[in-house]
Structure 1
Amino acid sequence: MSYRYKVAVVFLLGFFIDCVNIFMSAVALPSIAAHLQVSSASVAWVANAYILGLTLVIPISTWLAGRFGHRQIIAASMLLFSLAGLLCGLADGFASLVFWRLVQGMAGGLLIPLGQALTFNLFQGTQRARISTLVMAVALLAPALSPTLGGAIVDHSSWRWVFFASLPLSLLTAVLAWCWIRTEDGPAPTRPDVQGLLLVSATLAGLLLGMSLYGSGYPAYLALACLVGGLLFAGLYHWHCRHCPRPIVDLRLLRNVRLGLSVGIYHAIPGLFTGVNLLSLFFLQDTLHLSAQHSGMFMLLYAAGALMAMLACGRFYNSLGAARLFATALVLHSAGIATLCWVGSNSDLPLLITAYLLMGLGGGAGANTAQTTALLDFSGNDTHKASVIWNINRQMAFSLGAALLLMLYNLLLRHLSATDAYHLSLLLAALMGLLPLPLLGKLNPQKVLHAPVDR
């Protein structure tokens, strides 16, 4: 096996483990909430803490790799990831579970951007589309298998084994990283932007905490204070980025139309789907009384639709262009979410099948096209910077999508029945998923696509 494919294998294994940790833990959240006696909004912090941990370290991953070496950082991250996963499974309280999920997210946040940047720098030109297809194949395989497997684990054993299940793969990834990735000398790394890191982390924490508290029985002023604080920190970071020569997250790269739109699309499709799927898991298990395994199996239908869409996108990306594929993806995905609005009992199996197939078609087309498009214009050190933005955004989309949908549901639950609140939340999500459509004209090939980045 050539060196570049060895690096790709390490990255793809780490990426697979990251996706598994998001989707397998999601199917266990109703059981965790019942066992630890916390609300649906509070239990979402099992996922939010993981995302926050990723956000804390993704921006400094490049500096750490430059200081200690890619091989050492990637191998150490997977060892720490394994230890934190073990302690998540052994946690005897909700606070300790959330804490170790934070640590696990910090460990995972070291591997993903480093592995992606190393891999994409080794695959140039038309090969980028090929490796992007492999990345999305992993992103498809993990959501397809992990909810069904996680549901079976929860039904026949305990939610704790959901966290134990990924330990063999994470340890294997650590060994392969140490054996396969070369030690390469490079320029001395510059001091990381600590102030920017704190502002980015405070922004995400404020927004997530505000949406989690709002509508969940806590005082409204407390939730609004967190939301306002998150927005204030976001504004401060925007000012900081304009005046810092080497910001931790270089927002100036978002002037590139392809990257900017891909970032937005990821919130409208995979991000919203994370929230929709989380709501559906609670609805199917708590209201329709389906087992965790059966509710998780609908992700197999999602995966089937996504696979068909990914194959089509890989074949027709160059001929149809990103704009047409994005438009098709947005419409199909929102149509699938809207179909869930008609599900009211466990006899509505055809509607559930149709909904997950449509969401899979839209999700596969949208995520694959975004992954191919986002880093298309970058090379060298800019690939590392763009990879940081892309990976932070990918994780934020998952977390913000879940927090937003749970907030809407809890607010509507004050005035409506559980079923009606579920349906109206999904209808609003379907409409929000169409918001990027008017912006797709910016991808017109006659327009300038390579915006300069200030140095």
Structure 2
Amino acid sequence: MTYRYKVALIFLIGFFIDCINIFISAVALPTLSAALHVSTSDVAWVANAYILGLTLIIPVSTWLAGRFGSREILTASMILFTASVWMCGLADSFNELVIWRFVQGMGGGLLIPVGQALTFNLFKGEQRAKISTLVMAVALIAPAISPTIGGIIVDSSSWRWVFYSNIPFSLIAALLSWFWINEARPTSLPRPDIKGLLLVSAALGSLLMGMSLYGGDAPAWVAALFVTAGVTFVLLYGLHYRRCKNPIIELSLLKSKKLSTSIFIYYAIPGVFTGVNLMSIFFLQNTLHFSARLTGMFMILYAIGAFIAMLICGRTYNRMGAKRLFALGMLLHSAGIATLLLVNDPSDLWVIVIAYSLMGIGGGIGANTAQTTSLMDFEGNDTHKASVIWNINRQMSFSIGAALFLMVFNLLLKHFDTTQAYHATFAIASLVGLFPLFQLSQLNTQKDCHAQRNS
């Protein structure tokens, strides 16, 4: 195996672990809610804490890799991940579980952007489309098997083994990182932007907390206070960015229409789906009384649809272009979400099959196209910086999607019965997923893209 494929394999294992932690824990949330005696809004922090920890460490991960070495950081990240996931399984209280999930996220957040930047710098030009296809293949396998495995674990054993099951993969990633990675450290490193990191962390944490509280049991003014604080921190980072020579997040890279549009798409498709899937899990288990195993198996349908989408994108990306594929993906994905409005009782299995299949095909087309398109404009150090932005976006889209639609559901529940509230939430989600259609005109045509490459 050549060196670049060794690096790619390490990154793909880390990416696989990340995807597992999003989907395998989601199917256990109704059981966790009952076992730890917490509300639906509160139990979402089992997922949110992981994503928040991962998101907050991403901006400084590239600097840490340059300071201590990619091999050392990648190995340490997986050791930290292994220790924290073990402690998650041992947790005796909800607060303890959330704290260790946050630490677990920090471990995972070190591997993904560093591994992605190393990989994408070794695969250039059209080869990036090939490695993006491998990334999406992993993104299909993990959602396909992890909810089903998680459902089997929850139904036959304990929710604790949902976390223990991660340990073999993280230990393999740690060993491979130590023995395979061989990257020279830069001769000089700029000082890390600690002030920018604190502002970004405060902004993300405040916005996520505000959405999680709004519509729940907390007073509305408390949620509004967190959201206001989050917006304020965003504005303060904007002022800080103008004065900082080496900002933690290089906002100028967002001038790339490929990157900015891909970011918007990721919120509208994988982000929206994360929220829809979370609500669907609670709907199917708590309202229709499906088992955790059966609920998890619907993700196999999603993965099959996404696999078909991956084949479509791999064969047609250079011919159709990102604009058409993005539009097709959004339309199919939103159509799948809208189909969930027809689910009223346990006998509507075929409706759920159609819904998850459509969401899988549309979601696969959109996510695969975004992954392929996002970093096309960058090389060298700019790839690292763009990777930081892309991975912050990717993780926050999952967390914001879950928090947003939990908030919407809790607000609707005050005015409708449970089934009607779920259906209205799905209807709103299907519309939200179409918003980026209005931004697609900013993307170059395929003819223009070829002209830029040849110039």
TM-score grouping bracket, smaller chain normalisation: over 0.9
Residue 188 of structure 1: how far off its partner (Å): 2.3
In the alignment, structure 1 segments of 5+ residues that lack a partner are 451-455
Figure out how many residues of one structure are paired with residues of the other and give that number.
450
Correspondence for 1:381: 381
Residue 449 of structure 1: how far off its partner (Å): 7.3
Mapped to 2, the partners of 1:93 and 1:444 lie a distance apart of 52
Correspondence for 1:358: 358
Does the 8 Å CA contact 2:269/2:366 hold for their aligned counterparts?
Answer: yes
Q: For residues 9 and 446 of structure 1, do their structure 2 counterparts lie closer, same or farther at Cα, with a shift above 3 Å needed?
A: closer
Correspondence for 1:182: 182
Correspondence for 1:442: 442
Correspondence for 1:103: 103
Correspondence for 2:84: 84
Residue 204 of structure 1: how far off its partner (Å): 1.1
2:406 is aligned with what amino acid? L
Q: Deviations over 1:398-445 (max 9, x none)?
A: 000000000000000011101000000110000011000011111132
Residue 278 of structure 1: how far off its partner (Å): 0.2
Correspondence for 2:50: 50
Does the 8 Å CA contact 2:19/2:142 hold for their aligned counterparts?
Answer: yes
Correspondence for 1:156: 156
Q: Deviations over 1:268-316 (max 9, x none)?
A: 0000000000000001000000000100100000001000011000100
Correspondence for 2:243: 243
SS at match of 1:297: helix
In the alignment, structure 2 segments of 5+ residues that lack a partner are 451-455
Mapped to 2, the partners of 1:449 and 1:230 lie a distance apart of 37
Mapped to 2, the partners of 1:47 and 1:199 lie a distance apart of 22
TM-score (norm 1): 0.97
Residue 238 of structure 1: how far off its partner (Å): 1.8
Mapped to 2, the partners of 1:231 and 1:194 lie a distance apart of 19
Does the 8 Å CA contact 1:443/1:449 hold for their aligned counterparts?
Answer: no
SS at match of 1:136: helix
Does the 8 Å CA contact 1:258/1:449 hold for their aligned counterparts?
Answer: no
Where in structure 1 do 4 or more consecutive aligned residues deviate above 6 Å? Answer: 446-450
Correspondence for 1:323: 323
State, as a whole percentage, how many aligned pairs show the same letter: 64
Question: Is 1:215 aligned with 2:215?
Answer: yes
Residue 51 of structure 1: how far off its partner (Å): 1.2
SS at match of 2:435: coil
Alignment of 1:262-411 (within 5 A): 262-411=262-411
2:200 is aligned with what amino acid? V
Does the 8 Å CA contact 2:319/2:446 hold for their aligned counterparts?
Answer: no
Residue 239 of structure 1: how far off its partner (Å): 2.0
Mapped to 2, the partners of 1:185 and 1:76 lie a distance apart of 17
Mapped to 2, the partners of 1:389 and 1:187 lie a distance apart of 24
Correspondence for 1:14: 14
Mapped to 1, the partners of 2:185 and 2:297 lie a distance apart of 47
Mapped to 2, the partners of 1:261 and 1:138 lie a distance apart of 23
RMSD (Å) for aligned C-alpha atoms? 1.2
Residue 94 of structure 1: how far off its partner (Å): 0.5
Does the 8 Å CA contact 1:148/1:296 hold for their aligned counterparts?
Answer: yes
SS at match of 1:192: coil
Does the 8 Å CA contact 1:307/1:364 hold for their aligned counterparts?
Answer: yes
Mapped to 1, the partners of 2:36 and 2:188 lie a distance apart of 47
Does the 8 Å CA contact 1:257/1:449 hold for their aligned counterparts?
Answer: no
Residue 336 of structure 1: how far off its partner (Å): 0.3
SS at match of 1:436: helix
2:384 is aligned with what amino acid? H
Mapped to 2, the partners of 1:89 and 1:22 lie a distance apart of 16
Mapped to 2, the partners of 1:45 and 1:241 lie a distance apart of 30
Does the 8 Å CA contact 1:211/1:404 hold for their aligned counterparts?
Answer: yes
Does the 8 Å CA contact 2:323/2:445 hold for their aligned counterparts?
Answer: no
Does the 8 Å CA contact 1:17/1:170 hold for their aligned counterparts?
Answer: yes
